Amino acid sequence: MKKLVGFIVLVLWCVSCVQQPVTTPTNSIDAKVTALMEQMTWEEKIGQLHQVEGGQLTPQLYSEIAEGHVGSLLNCPKHLVNDVQRIAMQQSRLGIPLLIARDVIHGFKTIFPIPLGQAATFNPILVEKGAEIAATEASSEGIRLTFAPMIDITRDPRWGRIAESLGEDPYLTSVLGVAMVNGFQGNDLTQPNKVAACAKHFAAYGFSEGGRDYNIADVSEYQLREVILPPFKSVADAGVASFMPSFNEINGVPASANAYLFKQILRGEWGWKGTVISDYFSIKQIKTQGFCETEAQTAALAIETGIDVDMMSYVYHQYLDSLLMDGSVSEKAINDAVRNVLTLKYKLGLFDNPYVDTLAQPIHYDVSHLAVAKQAAIEGAVLLKNEHNLLPLSASQLNSVAIIGPMADAPAEQIGTWCFDAEPSRSITPLMAITKELQDGPIIHYVPGLNYSRDVNTNQIERAVSAAKKSDVVLLFVGEEAILSGEAKCRARLDLPGAQAQLVNAVAATGKPVVMVVMAGRPLCIGNEIANANAVLYTFHGGTMAGPAISDLLFGKSIPSGKLPVTIPQAEGQIPIYYYQKETGRPPHHFTLIDDIPVGAKQTSLGFCTYWLDAGIEPLYPFGFGLSYTQFTYSDIQVSQQNFSATDTLTVTCTITNTGKYNAYEVAQLYVHDPVASLTRPLKQLKGFQKVFIKAGEQEKVSFKLTNNDFAFWNNQNQFVAEPGAFTLYVAPSSDVAKGCSVSVVLE
């Protein structure tokens, strides 16, 4: 039927062409692309699929652009963008503009918190605004394609690229991934301040074995459909302009040669029609992975899989022409790829406006941009501990404050991973911001204690202890440098690097109140250090405005509202650990920890259940957890109907009361549990969240709407179905649903 409809459309289009002069202009992008491709040689077509570095305008690159052998450039600086575009537009035979691409992951000049930190905001409006600002700043330098968002689900904080992720949950990642795409692209890609987004990495990159980058991923079809693919499906439906394959192999097939992913699922099942761009060298690496014998074969595999653009492998550039001649690749595969590339360029309006406005006023670090970045850093900070309501601090009640730690004044490190255009000189550090906040108040005793996070030289620790002893409170800034997370920055041990643990212990031993601020690119297993602190604020890497955001939180100008987008394990041995695990045949109940086992104890099968002898079963902190300076209680959960059908929309309401003394935001989270199904189901799954503002002593009612799809899953027949039966719904402050309230419903 689809072929018949397509044929009819083609016939009608041909008839319309006959009925009017061929010179009549058309607004159809498809028609424009078709007309252009009819004029192109095979060399020019293959050139559109070739993406190379553009940092320097070498004679060779100049020549290749003029000959139409380059379609897009990576990392081309602003002062060269107009030069290379003029070559493409005025000296190449057909005047096809270049696509200028760059990694703009969590900001361009104004740097926002790392994506994991943005996910902690649980605020899609704020996340969308951050991407919009990044697009505005980047496009002012000619960048029209960014390789974000990264929507890989991961359960392993050892993996360095967890910093670029939106956490462990498919629903949260889907919502925030769509928000990022909308921010980057807006409603009209032809607008010069918008950039094309790229969903990466398709797929299962976050499931790299052992948390080791580029490693294999071995996942079941169930896991693929239930956990890994939903965020990609969401952004595909939202109109994301491009996709990027992952580096890893998936069940024995490298992603860049995985026709099941790209042809059957992405193009076939989902009907997505955008542009697929390889990752850096990823096509050439198909040979390294042992999937073929020659580089030429990598090009054939990738183009037939549907990888439209070869980023820096040069194999399309070197081999596609000969592969086409000997029949190893089809004309259709190349033409489809070229069509996708040209379509994206037309959608971006590059044929009409390929140049940068060099006379425009600079828009980097606009006051409004910095304000949004600060708000993102505020809302992305998670309060993990606050003994005796130590926070917020009152400057008027303090005589002196000790600021200690290698992250207190580290402008480059607070920016976080993968920010090529960041300027550390524009970062406002916690030391700077707190010094300004307390300029007319308490005396500040600043001692870094260590020069950087990995420093093992303990010579300064004694000075740090001295500073702590003569202060009313200690603000201790620890964590990891930006370079310790991100691509290829995986860690087997998730402790505080260097001598930081020794620093924490020494300062805590003074008996002075300690507020520990953790600035890191991932969850760290720091239970001992947290136990030694009186209050703990986990801020991830907060970007340009991390300092003012932290200062406002510490001194009560802002109230923490962040929630963990990922589970924090007690120890590395618990990994993978995530909230939506399934029940085992022997659920955890009464168990004996390692130190409670008598010496010489006899073997027994009584009381065996699932847990770790040395860590029990609970994480250090669960997904969705985050304290406030006030307290919230959940009550009176209700549903619009106890029994509902597949065509009904179920409304769930719950009352949240602010029982504390601060006006504050709370993130209410809705979880669903299917206790009996044809395939075993997770103990709970996030299906909704709302960030609500509640004044002290008042209450608000939150409302969620659920449809049949919220109760559905992929069964063994690869069907997405909702099976009739009972479900339990929870509205709670975190995935620890016992602290919320629940209700049962029945799908008939």
Q: Cis link prior to 733 (omega < 30° from 0)?
A: no
Q: Note the helical H segments in 348-419.
A: 367-379
How many Cα atoms within 13 Å fall on the side-chain side of residue 731? 27
Please tell me the predicted confidence (pLDDT) of residue 27.
67
For residue 119, CA distances in Å to 77, 416, 537, 540 come to: 30, 15, 16, 11
Digit-coded pLDDT (tens) for 493-531 = 999 999 999 999 999 999 999 999 999 999 999 999 999
Kindly state the average pLDDT of the residues 247-274. 98
* 568 within 8 A of 620, measured Cβ to Cβ: yes
**Cα 519 from chain centroid (whole Å):** 17
Three-class SS of residue 732?
A: strand
In sequence order, what are the beta bridge partners of 145?
A: 101, 196
Structural domain 632-747, CATH architecture: Sandwich (2.60)
The model's pLDDT over 63-112, given as tens digits with 9 standing for 90+, comes to 999 999 999 999 999 999 999 999 999 999 999 999 999 999 999 999 99
- Answer with the residue of higher pLDDT: 13 or 663: 663
Q: Does residue 584 have a pLDDT over 50?
A: yes
pLDDT at 541 over 80: yes
Dihedral angle sign, alpha carbons of residues 178, 183, 187, 190: negative
CB 721 within 8 A of CB 689: no
The confidence score (pLDDT) of residue 358 equals 82
Q: What is the number of other CB atoms lying within 10 angstroms of the CB of residue 675?
A: 13
CA gap 464, 404 in Å, rounded: 7
pLDDT tens digits for 170-203? 999 999 999 999 999 999 999 999 999 999 999 9
Q: Per-domain residue ranges for the chain?
A: 367-554, 632-747
pLDDT of residue 19: 32
pTM: 0.95
CA distance 178 to 30: 26
Q: What is the 3-state secondary structure (H, E, C) of 534-552?
A: CEEEECCCCCCCHHHHHHH
Q: Is the per-residue pLDDT at 278 higher than 70? A: yes
User: Which H/E stretch holds residue 198?
Assistant: strand 198-202
How many Cβ atoms sit within 10 Å of the Cβ of residue 663? Answer: 15
CA-wise closest residue to 131 among 46, 38, 61, 194: 194
| Angstrom distance (rounded) from CA 103 to CA 105 | 6
The active-site residue out of 152, 156, 213, 279 is 279
What element of type H or E holds 729? strand 725-732
Q: Which of 57-71, 107-121, 138-152, 578-592 has the lowest mean pLDDT?
A: 578-592
pLDDT at 62 > cutoff 60? yes
Range scoring the smallest mean pLDDT among 24-33, 79-88, 640-649: 24-33
Whether 56 has a pLDDT exceeding 90, the answer reads no
- Summarised one tens digit per residue, pLDDT across range 462-497 is 999 999 999 999 999 999 999 999 999 999 999 999
Q: Which amino acid is at 554?
A: L
Burial label, 349 (beta-carbon count in 10 A; 0-12, 13-18, 19+):
middle
pLDDT in tens, 198-239: 999 999 999 999 999 999 999 999 999 999 999 999 999 999
Q: How far does CA 599 lie from the centroid of its chain?
A: 48
- Structure-token match 């996942």, residue found: 219
List pLDDT tens digits, range 360-385.
Answer: 877 999 999 999 999 999 999 999 99
DSSP assignment letter at 121: T
Please state, for a pLDDT cut of 90, what percent of the chain lies above it.
93
Q: For residue 657, what pLDDT band results from cuts at 50, 70 and 90?
A: very high
Of the listed ranges 236-240, 603-607, 730-734, the least confidently predicted one is 603-607
**Measured between alpha carbons, how far is 373 from 87 in angstroms, rounded to an integer?**
37
Amino acid present at 86: R
Read off the pLDDT of each residue in 255-276 and give the average, rounded to a whole number.
98
402 has a pLDDT exceeding 70: yes
Which candidate, 398, 554, 403, 553, places its Cα nearest to that of 474? 403
Instruction: List CB contacts of 45: < 8 A, sequence separation 6 or more.
Output: 37, 334, 335, 338
Residue 203: is the preceding peptide bond cis (ω within 30°)? yes
CATH classification code of 367-554: 3.40.50.1700
Average pLDDT of span 308-322: 98
279 is catalytic: yes
The separation between CA 310 and the C-alpha centre of its own chain, rounded to angstroms, equals 24
Angle of helix 315-325 relative to helix 331-347, nearest 10 degrees, comes to 140
Give phi and psi for 598, each to the nearest 5.
Answer: -65, 145
pLDDT given for residue 486 in this prediction: 98
Per-residue pLDDT for 287 more than 60?
A: yes
User: SS3 of 516, please?
Assistant: strand
Residues 6+ apart with CB under 8 A from 77: 55, 141
Q: What is the mean pLDDT of the chain?
A: 95
Q: Are 518 and 475 in contact (CB under 8 A)?
A: no
